[in-house]
Amino acid sequence: MTEPVAGAFETEFAEFQKRLSYLRESRSYVTAGLGRDEWADAALLELDVATEELKVRQEELVSWADQVAAEKSPAELERLLLRSAFTGSPFPTLIVTGDDGVIRRANAAALALLDVTQSYASGRPFPVFADLRFRAALRSALAAASRTGETRTVRMRLARRRLPPVDVTLAIAALDLPGERPHLLIGTSVVPPLEPVAPAGPEIQPAREDVLTSFSRLLLSPGFSPGKAAAALRETLADWVCVDLLDQAGRWRPAAALMGDAAADRPLDLQRRVLASGHLALESPLDDLGVLGEDPDGVRVAARLGVGSLVCVPLVARRPMGTVTLARRAGARRPLSLADAGLLRELGDQLALRLDLDELLA
């Protein structure tokens, strides 16, 4: 509908509303003997006018809609067709961009395979969904496809949040989009099941109240030490635990590092950042393999241990006391969740109070 026609319709509608207002006002003083017949005739006339005007506008709207549909170019229709084919494909397909393979589009089948939502996947690097042992190969394949424009295939294992890992073969093809950053199309022939498959042998987690009670009992025991607290946390929540403390002079020291012989020199940027902000940090799945530093051989600790998720909480009482860091192995256990992070924050508050008490009594 053109702008002049729309303006004329608004003017006519405003006049129509005025006439209806006059009819409503006159209804209160017309009587059966004087003016009623004339009032009824005027009301019927207004109804006839409104009906005719609505018919005209309906014809104009239908004509306008047909015109808009006819004006769609073949290129636009082709774009809509391809978008519908991408969205409705039963095969998992993603469009990524940049050197890190940041997900820009994911169809419903890909989201079901990764066991994530669209909002969670968008803007996240695709390699974070790969098992740590396959990430380097996947990143190389993404870079090669982007650089050469040739299609690449790579075998990998997807590490999913609530579902068991799945082995897939990915086909990676470059997309030629003039004026845009390099894009890649990633697809696989694996069709996700209609119903999610529950992992075999579900992990049994101790009750939150039981964990809080037993940890409180440990903190009150005569033989308490940060090492025993770390061991208790590892037994119930994680595969590896690190407790790093900050003394009154501002010096850091590792109070407990239950990470085998892979522990890095401490403290790390992660611990400093968490303690300075007072907020916990949750990496699930773990993206930065350098977050735990490097071991004496120069190998990144997270990669050597196969860490899949990590959480670090601050220890704060009268002053900043340090941090506690938990890590879980990828694939063997479910990733650390927000609930786990919240529980660790409560346990960390209790631990900070005990450490502060020891400092007062020293």
Considering the domain architecture, whether residues 219 and 352 belong to the same structural domain is answered as yes
Verdict on whether the full-model pTM lies above 0.75: no
Domain contains 130: yes
* Residues present in the chain in total: 362
Q: Strand 240-246 vs strand 183-187: parallel, antiparallel, or unpaired? A: unpaired
Domain contains 355: yes
Quote the pLDDT of residue 201. 47
- The band of 258, judged by pLDDT with boundaries at 50, 70 and 90, is confident
Quote the pLDDT of residue 78. 75
Considering the domain architecture, whether residues 175 and 260 belong to the same structural domain is answered as no
CA gap 351, 317 in Å, rounded:
9
b/e map 129-161, b = 16+ CB within 10 Å: bbbbebbeebbebbeebbeeeeebebebbbbbe
Place of tokens 């949040």: 161
Domain contains 41: yes
Considering the domain architecture, whether residues 283 and 344 belong to the same structural domain is answered as yes
- The band of 68, judged by pLDDT with boundaries at 50, 70 and 90, is low
Domain contains 125: yes
Domain contains 192: no
Alpha helices in 106-161 (DSSP H): 108-114, 118-121, 132-148
CA gap 125, 97 in Å, rounded:
9
Q: Which domain holds residue 224?
A: 208-361
- Average pLDDT for 24-39: 75
Name every residue whose Cβ is closer than 8 Å to that of residue 349 and which is 6 or more positions away in sequence.
316
Considering the domain architecture, whether residues 279 and 334 belong to the same structural domain is answered as yes
Looking at 71, 92, 125, the residue that finishes a domain is: 71
Neighbours of 272 (CB within 10 A): 14
How many CA atoms are closer than 13 Å to the CA of 153, on its beta-carbon side? 4
Considering the domain architecture, whether residues 217 and 355 belong to the same structural domain is answered as yes
Residue-wise pLDDT tens digits, 230-250: 888 888 888 888 888 888 888
Neighbours of 125 (CB within 10 A): 18
CATH of the domain at 132: 3.30.450.20
Quote the pLDDT of residue 200. 45
SS3 at position 252: strand
Looking at 54, 71, 88, the residue that finishes a domain is: 71
Considering the domain architecture, whether residues 81 and 217 belong to the same structural domain is answered as no
Considering the domain architecture, whether residues 155 and 243 belong to the same structural domain is answered as no
Q: Strand 240-246 vs strand 252-258: parallel, antiparallel, or unpaired? A: antiparallel
Domain contains 193: no
Tokens at residue 309, please? 């998720």
Q: How many domains does the chain have?
A: 3
Of 279 and 132, the one with more pLDDT: 279
Considering the domain architecture, whether residues 240 and 343 belong to the same structural domain is answered as yes
Domain contains 264: yes
Considering the domain architecture, whether residues 266 and 296 belong to the same structural domain is answered as yes
Quote the pLDDT of residue 305. 80
Considering the domain architecture, whether residues 219 and 234 belong to the same structural domain is answered as yes
Domain contains 202: no
